[in-house]
């Protein structure tokens, strides 16, 4: 249904963004994100610098019926940034300025390709704090975070991206520009288009500017590692920590295989580890109170079977632990071909989810490595292609994934907590919602994007879904 990129269209793109920002030769970087080993080369990659240039590119594509896929850091784990129908990769990489840090009103205004960690560090220099902290923070962008409503370890105390976005500038497929919200803590003027666009995975509009709330930087942190003899007791300890009336800023879960993968990749060793390990961090402004909280976290972990709890003595030890933790995602993915699920359940149902994942993968003869932000009920399950034949992989994985999702949904959970539906989960959307609800989403998509040119092939099933274990596009 889509048209191809023609030489005449390329000329017009060059006229908009400059010849040096239209890429036809080296399209490899634009042809993949972090999702399995998919490769979908666009026909052309375009690097606009301003909202006006984005608007002109998108309008041109809409008129010509050519697909446009916005790309940030291309760290998506759901195939969000893949150009599955070819067309134009709209890389925002040159729109990477922190426009303003407004310390008086506690807001930041940024262009979409600002790297998440760059904003965190910039505001921290001024004693301020931006909450969302995806483990990919060194390479993902705030525009991608908005599109996926990224979470990360600190979400349980500080919320996910949607809780920090108060305004957007966005380009509609027609090329019209909308401005939603602003530096406003309150705003109920009409429908909440800001929050409709957050998490819309680049399928409704291209975000070209983001206004984010900030808060004062918490002064102190205490970071602990608690090893457990089995997965379920670690999951139980999470609830016990909250029962002690403590809200940590992070509770990360790592099974033994995840820990070992990170250790191997970094050639370093976690100071404490078990069959399952929790990384718990508390933060605040009252150091004495924090010491007591850390002690109570330790007691809760010991009560659930942790033989002892390691407390990071200084910032260097803390950084060392977090560096290892943040390397897990890539370390696990480098072990073998994988299929990752991003399950999320109400926190107290975690022990059941952890047990279900163990049971399902064992029964199907598959190796699953689990880790995640369990403080907010989010467990990443990586099924690895280890010790199985090609045929076993092809037949067992789809059945196991479906079962894991069934069990997750039965626990009151959902099939993705922060990675998005994207390309790889859309065939499972009918497990999550009834048809009339999916149809409502299709209607919303048609209102924004009647010709369907923005990031086609994502979120909404259209009958052409791939097999969940597919290897290449
Ligand atoms: C090692 C690793 C660890 C990770 N850890 C976490 C984690 O802890 N928490 C978490 O939530 N995610 C995590 N992720 C997933 C990923 O980093 C996030 O989804 C992130 O938000 C993607 O940002 P990006 O800039 O890379 O976006 P991309 O991958 O480039 O794009 C993602 C989606 O956003 C759309 N998009 C990008 N920019 C725009 C824009 N300006 N306007 C409209 N749409 C746009 C794209 O079309 C696509 O649909 C991890 C990934 C890796 C590889």
Is the C-beta atom of 455 inside 6 A of ligand 1?
A: yes
Residue 62 has a pLDDT of 98
Determine the atom of ligand 1 nearest the C-alpha atom of 151.
Answer: 11
3-state SS assignment for residue 264: helix
Q: Is the Cβ atom of 204 under 6 angstroms away from ligand 1?
A: no
Is ligand 1 within 6 A of the CB of residue 419?
Answer: yes
Instruction: Name the DSSP class of 370.
Output: E
291 Cα to the center of ligand 1, angstroms: 35
Contact of 356 with 404, CB cutoff 8 Å: yes
3-state secondary structure at position 213: strand
The model's pLDDT over 13-63, given as tens digits with 9 standing for 90+, comes to 999 999 999 999 999 999 999 998 899 999 999 999 999 999 999 999 999
Beta partners for residue 141, in sequence order: 115
| Residues in the chain where the model's pLDDT stays below 70 | 466-473
Ligand 1 atom nearest to 34, measured from its CA? 53
Residue to mutate (ligand 1; options 147, 155, 210, 334; most atoms within 8 A of CB): 147
401 touches ligand 1 (CB under 6 Å): no
Q: How far apart are CA 227 and CA 275, in angstroms?
A: 7
Cβ neighbour number for residue 421 with a 10 Å cutoff: 25
Please report the pLDDT score of residue 37 as a whole number. Answer: 85
Nearest CA to ligand 1 atom 7: 134
In the chain, the N- to C-terminal Cα span, in Å, equals 18
For ligand 1, whether the C-beta of 148 sits within 6 Å is: yes
Task: Provide the pLDDT for residue 472.
Answer: 37
pLDDT at 473: 33
- Vertex 365, ends 360 and 369: CA angle to 5°? 65
Residue 289 has phi, psi (to 5 degrees) of -60, -40
Taking CA atoms only, the protein residue closest to ligand 1 atom 34 is 144
CA-nearest of 137, 350, 154 to 251 is 154
HEC-encoded secondary structure of 418-467: CCCCCCCCHHHHHHHCCHHHHHHHHHHHHHHCCCCCECCCCCCCCCCCCC
pLDDT at 462: 87
């Amino acid at each position: 249904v889509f048209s191809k990129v023609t030489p005449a269209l390329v000329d017009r793109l060059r006229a908009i963004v400059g010849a040096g920002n239209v890429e036809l030769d080296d399209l490899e970087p634009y042809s993949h994100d972090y999702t399995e080993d998919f490769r979908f080369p666009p026909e052309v990659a375009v690097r606009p610098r301003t909202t006006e240039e984005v608007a002109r590119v998108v309008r041109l594509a809409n008129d010509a019926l050519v697909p446009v896929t916005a790309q940030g850091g291309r760290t998506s784990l759901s195939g969000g940034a893949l150009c599955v129908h070819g067309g134009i990769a709209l890389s925002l990489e040159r729109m990477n300025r922190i426009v303003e840090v407004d310390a008086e009103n506690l807001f930041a205004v940024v262009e979409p390709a600002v790297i998440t960690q760059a904003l965190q560090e910039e505001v921290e220099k001024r004693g301020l704090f931006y909450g969302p902290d995806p483990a990919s923070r060194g390479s993902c962008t705030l525009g991608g975070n908005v599109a996926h409503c990224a979470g990360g370890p600190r979400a349980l105390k500080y919320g996910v991206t949607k809780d920090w976005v108060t305004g957007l500038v966005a380009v509609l497929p027609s090329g019209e520009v909308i401005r939603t919200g602003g530096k406003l803590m309150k705003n109920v003027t009409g429908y909440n288009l800001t929050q409709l666009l957050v998490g819309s995975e680049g399928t409704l509009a291209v975000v070209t500017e983001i206004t984010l709330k900030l808060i004062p930087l918490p002064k102190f942190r205490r970071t602990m590692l608690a090893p457990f003899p089995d997965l379920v007791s670690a999951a139980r300890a999470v609830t016990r920590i909250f029962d002690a009336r403590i809200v940590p800023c992070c509770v990360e879960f790592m099974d033994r295989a995840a820990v070992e993968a990170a250790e191997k990749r970094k050639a370093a060793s976690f100071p404490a580890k078990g069959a399952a390990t929790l990384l718990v961090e508390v933060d605040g402004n009252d150091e004495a109170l924090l010491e007591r909280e850390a002690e109570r976290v330790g007691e809760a972990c010991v009560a659930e079977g942790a033989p002892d709890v390691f407390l990071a003595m200084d910032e260097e030890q803390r950084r060392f632990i977090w560096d290892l933790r943040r390397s897990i995602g890539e370390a696990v993915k480098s072990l073998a071909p994988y299929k990752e699920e991003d399950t999320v359940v109400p926190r107290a149902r975690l022990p059941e989810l952890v047990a279900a994942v163990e049971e399902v993968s064992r029964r199907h003869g598959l190796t699953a490595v689990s880790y995640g932000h369990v403080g907010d009920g989010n467990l990443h399950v990586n099924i690895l292609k280890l010790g199985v034949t090609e045929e076993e992989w092809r037949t067992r994985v789809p059945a196991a994934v479906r079962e894991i999702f069934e069990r997750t949904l039965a626990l009151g959970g959902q099939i993705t907590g922060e990675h998005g539906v994207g390309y790889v989960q859309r065939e499972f959307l009918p497990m999550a919602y009834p048809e009339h609800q999916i149809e409502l989403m299709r209607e919303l998509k048609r209102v924004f994007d009647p010709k369907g040119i923005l990031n086609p092939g994502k979120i909404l099933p259209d009958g052409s879904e791939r097999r969940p274990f597919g290897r290449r596009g």
